[in-house]
Structure 1
Amino acid sequence: MDTLLSRLPALPDLRRLRGPRARLIRRCLAAALLLSGLLLLLLPPAARGAPATTTVVSARDLPAGSVLRAADVRLLTVPDDVRPAGALTAPEAAVGRLLSGPARAGEPITDVRLVGAGLPVMGEPGSVTVAVRLADAAVAELLRPGQRVDVIARGTAANSASVLASGVTVVTVHRPENTGSHALEPSERDPLVLLALPMPVATQVAASSLDQQVTVTLR
C-alpha cells in the first residue's frame, strides 16, 4: 500500500499557489463540493442514513369522495421527520375505502382521510349511486363523504313529509359555481349530493327528487 501511494502524484499545496492557476483550482474544488451536496440530496432518505418509512401516497390528484382503487395509490419512502401521523404503510389498507377530502398526487394517505370499509359504493353489487339536489343549501354545508343520512321528501300537504330512505351514505357533495359565462337556472343552484343507495329504493329516491323538494337529516 505504501509503495502504491508513493507512486501517486503529490497534490499541490494550495496555500503556495498564486495567480490564475490557484483561482481555477479553488473554483473546481468548490464546484465539486456543490455537486457532491446536490447528489446527496437526490439520494433516497435511507441511503442518506435518515430514518424513513415506506408510505402509501396518492398516485394522482384525487377528488373528495373517491373510492380508492389499486391504481390510485403507490408506495413511497418518506422521511420520518415529515411523515404525518397515521400514514398508511400497506396499499391494501386504502383500497376500497372512501376518500373524505381531495388529495394531491404524492400526498400521504392517513387513516383520518378515509371513511370506514364496508360502505355501499358505486359499482358494488346491491347498491347504486343517485344524484339528489337538496332544497336546503345550509344542510349540504354540513355533509361530508361517508356520513349517514336519511332522505326526506316534502309532501303536497302542508307540513307533510315522507322518509324515502334511511341510513344511506353520502359519497360526495357538489356545490355549483357560477362561472359568469351564464347565469344558473334556479334548479341548478341547489347543491347536488351523491348518495349510495340500496337498489330497491334508488329508483324511488331518484324519481321523487325530480318533482319534490328533497332534503336529508343527519345521523
Structure 2
Amino acid sequence: MFPGLPPARRRLRAARHQLRRRRRLIAAALTAAAALAALRTLAPPPAETVEVLVAARDLPSGSLLEEDDLVVRDWPVDLAPPDALPDAGVGAAGRVLAAPIGRGEVLTGVRLVGPGLALAHPGETVVPVRLPDAGMAALLHAGDEVDLLATDPGTGEAVLVARDVTVLATPTGVPEGPAGGSGGALVVVGASADEAVTIAGAALTQFLTVSWNR
C-alpha cells in the first residue's frame, strides 16, 4: 500500500489512514443524527383529533340511518364542525336525514330531523306534514320553497294555509300513489309559529298538498 517504506512505517501509515476514514464516517453519522434531531425538534406536534361519525356512502335526504351507514373517524379538532356527532352517535342509528350527505362527510345535528334541525333554522317552527300522495312528496327536495294548500275531502275546495314554507326533509323509499288516512308520506317543513298552528289544524280534517309559485 505504501511501497518503499519499512514495514513498521507502512503499518503506522495504514493505521493512520484507517483512523482518518473512521473519523470521517463517525463525523458524518453524528452530523446526520444531529440533523434528524433538529428536524424532530422543529416538526409540529401531531394534531389533536376527536372521534366523529362520517357517512360510509352517499345517503339521500329522508334516509333512515342504520349502523352500517356510519363509520367512526379521527378528525382534527380544529376542522371538526362544532355540532359533529361523537362516536357515541347520540342515537344516530334510527334517525332520519334532513338533508343529503356525501360519503366521508361528517354527520352533524343539523343533518338530522330533530331539535338540531330547528336550531339551524332560527325563527322557524319545524312541522311534519303528511301528503296524501307519496309521489308528490318524491318531487320535493330539501331547500325547496312551496305553498301548502288544504283541500276539503267533501267539497273539494282548496285554500292556501301557508306560503313559501321551506322543505327541510323528504322521505325516500315510499310507494307512489294516493293513500290517504295514515298513508301517504311525511315531509318536514319550516314555517312561522302561526303557520304551524294553521297547518296542524288543517291536517286533522283536510288533505294537504303543495304547489310551487316559481
Q: Normalising by structure 2, what TM-score?
A: 0.47
Rg (Cα) greater in structure: 2
